[in-house]
Chains A and B, each alone.
Chain A
Amino acid sequence: MTGAERIEASLREGAVARGLALAAFLTAGHPARDAFSAQLDAVAAEVDLVEVGVPFSDPMADGVTIQRASRSALEAGVTLRWILDVLAAHPRAAPLALMSYLNPLLAFGLPRLAEEAAAAGVSGFIVPDLPYEECGPLRDALDAAGLALVQLVTPQTPAARLALLCGASRGFVYAVTATGTTGGATTFSDGVLRYLDRVRAASHLPVLAGFGVRTAGQLREVRGHADGAVVGSALVEVLERHDDPAAFLRGLRAAALVGGGAA
């Protein structure tokens, strides 16, 4: 199975088994570099996909939480090379995607990146500052290694472009639910749910809702309109408080199952 196929299969399985697949994001090496590997194990055991954030000096699509996480990880000396070495140490319970701005990937070198990421057990990449028109070189390099390059779509994306992006995506389609940076509080309007329905209709891959997903109530709302959801800033804040990330994710998932939902 290729990395892209592994992501897709895991998300489908989660959606079928529990009504909604769950993906979690954490910035590599934050809040403590030495705790990262164990935290990743704990998170991976609870979710269907883990997004590992590669820190960048200029995270323009991120809100205050992930900006802070990114800066702290860089100060702790976290690099893409270090992350790949940690990931390569042993396999994790869920597929892994690296979420990175483009420049650290370019600095690493694209052909080498695909090869070394695959060897480290990475299944795909999410690159928030790389729109479809510019993604050719990275997508070609990742395709050659069977790794997914996930396309992001937004409520502003016109219908024809939505079809294009869904068709070009690998692994899943990342449906940005909030206009804005990561981490903002969101309640989903009917407009957002209808948007998720449109994305789902355009995609042959699982659709994950993300950016501003923080509560069990939001997960319940999303059920029936997306195949899964990504929890990011809220989990980073749990880690910063030294709370148990596994307990947080289990609690979120259990609460989301209570009370049925729209499905």
Chain B
Amino acid sequence: MVERAGVLTDRESPLAGVILGAPPDARGRFGPFGGRYVPETLVAALERLEAGARAALADPAFRAALETELHTWAGRPTPLTVAHRLGAAWGATVLLKREDLAHTGAHKINNAVGQALLARRLHARRVVAETGAGQHGVATAAACARLGLPCTVYMGAVDVERQAPNVERMARFGAEVLRVKSGDQTLRAAIDEALRDWVADPDGTYYLIGSVVGPHPYPWLVREFQSVIGREARAQVLADGGRLPDALVACVGGGSNAIGLFHAFLGDAEVELLGIEAGGSGPEPGRHAATLAHGTPGVLHGSHSLLLQDADGQVRETHSISAGLDYPGVGPEHALLHATGRARYATASDDEALDAAAECCELEGILPALESAHALAGARRWAAAHRGGTVLIGLSGRGDKDLATYAAADRERR
């Protein structure tokens, strides 16, 4: 049994635990998902990290330092924008939570600054991170520059090509960017390589993971730092209109911006939670990265969750036009929200995302990241089925990094 705010809840019900905002259980489980599947070399380091993180999050001085950084350096709170012309086009009230306006251009900064402060508190000598679209890499490089921590970022060679502007930004913040040519040369191979780096120096290196994936305590820790998105959005929407939205929509790769947006609303049963995965170029294996739609239970990167894999347990290659969603796994808390039905998950294809991005540019003067464009596409479909409803979209990042991809797609589709 857990007790919070005087309410006793049956701990046997995983949904009850999630709704109460209870951390995962002592073994890092979100219901049947999560856990800590790592080489023995990392067990002691993860135990130290968990103890250090719990102490930091309970320490008012740490919370105050984080709050100050988020407010005076990262630009929080981010605004909630009423998208009048999109709303008129869709026949709905459309609200955008503007994480694209956070420092470095995406929600990733919330977690990067939190974990970098934690790394400094735990006396790390250096920080390593992985990155897909480059947003987490840029955020981590910026936070490490601000705190004076040496930083190494692993990035798949494929992603280095398609997200070149972010590679340049990381280098300017003093980070060492290492191209990963092993495996599939995307986000998943970058995580493999960052884990190998950490295994080589578990005591001096801090692994600053960028999503709600990985071994316990990361899915919990990253959620704690990202849930500021939903807390702000919930207060803003209540202050503006006095009532909660009918639905929240966010894109899901590993799932950090979606968990961050959803978390404060988990107890609001009347608010529908909708995650949008990368539908890529089709439902066949290898043509998408829609783990919750097509995955089966398995263990990857230290955590038991859903996974895109073949019958022999080999992890499949994925495809998405969006580097940030191009990942064969998904955070264990999403797997639980999916299993319990509290959140619903759908897909948006490459083409739908491109169309939604173009529409957002034309009607709102906002260039969304390719990742966020998937959320816009999903929200548009939701609005078509819920005329007159109110939908709040997690606009997780800005699309400057994707200009080359947008331009190439225009040429190809013309």
Residues A103 and B300 in contact, CB atoms below 8 Å apart: yes
Other-chain residue from B192, B202, B297, B314 in contact with A104 (beta carbon distance below 8 A): B314
Cβ distance A98 to chain B, nearest Cβ, rounded Å = 13
Q: Quick check: A179 and B312 within 8 Å, CB to CB?
A: no
Q: Is A205 an interface residue (CB 8 A)?
A: no
Bound Cα distance from A165 to B43, whole angstroms: 12
Candidates A104, A107, A131, A153; contact of B38 at CB < 8 Å:
A131
Q: A58-B188, A102-B299, A181-B196 are in contact. Are A107 and B41 (CB under 8 A)?
A: no
Please give the distance in Å from A9's CB to the nearest CB on chain B: 25
Cβ-defined contact, B36 with A133, below 8 A: yes
Task: Kindly count the residue-residue contacts between A and B in the assembled complex, taking CB atoms under 8 Å apart.
Answer: 109
Query: Given A130-B37, A131-B37, A131-B43, do A106 and B298 touch, yes or no (CB 8 Å)?
Result: yes
A152 and B301 CA atoms in complex are apart in Å by 19
In whole angstroms, what is the CA distance A71 to B184 when docked? Answer: 11
Q: Chain B: interface residue count, which band?
A: 35 or more
Q: Which residues between 126 and 175 of chain A lie within 8 Å of chain B, taking CB atoms?
A: 128-134, 151-154, 156-158, 161, 165
B192 lies within 8 A of A106 (CB): no
Q: Which residues of A contact B309 (CB under 8 A)?
A: 103, 107
Chain B contacts for A57, CB-based, 8 A: 183, 314-315
| Given A104-B312, A105-B313, A107-B312, A154 and B27 contact (CB-CB distance below 8 Å) | no
Bitwise interface map of B from 294 to 327 toward A, beta carbon under 8 Å scored 1, else 0: 0001111110000101011111000000000000
State A105–B192 Cα separation when bound (angstroms).
19
Answer whether residue B60 sits at the interface, using C-beta atoms and an 8 A cutoff: no
Q: Which B-chain residue is minimally distant from A184 (CB atoms)?
A: B200
Q: Which residues of B have CB within 8 Å of A157?
A: 40, 43-44
A81 at the interface (CB under 8 A from B): yes
Is the C-beta of B35 less than 8 angstroms from some C-beta in chain A? yes
Given contacts A61-B196, A129-B38, 14 further A-B contacts (CB under 8 A): A56-B313, A67-B182, A79-B312, A103-B307, A104-B314, A107-B298, A129-B39, A130-B37, A134-B36, A153-B40, A156-B202, A156-B203, A165-B40, A180-B41
Chain B positions within 8 Å of A, measured between CB atoms, are 27, 35-41, 43-45, 182-183, 188, 192, 195-196, 199-203, 297-302, 307, 309, 311-315
Q: A residues bordering B, Cβ < 8 Å? A: 56-61, 63-64, 67, 71, 74, 79-81, 102-108, 128-134, 151-154, 156-158, 161, 165, 176, 179-181
A-B contact pairs, 17 of them (CB 8 A): A57-B314, A57-B315, A60-B196, A80-B312, A81-B312, A103-B298, A107-B312, A129-B37, A129-B299, A131-B36, A131-B37, A134-B37, A156-B41, A156-B203, A158-B44, A161-B43, A181-B196
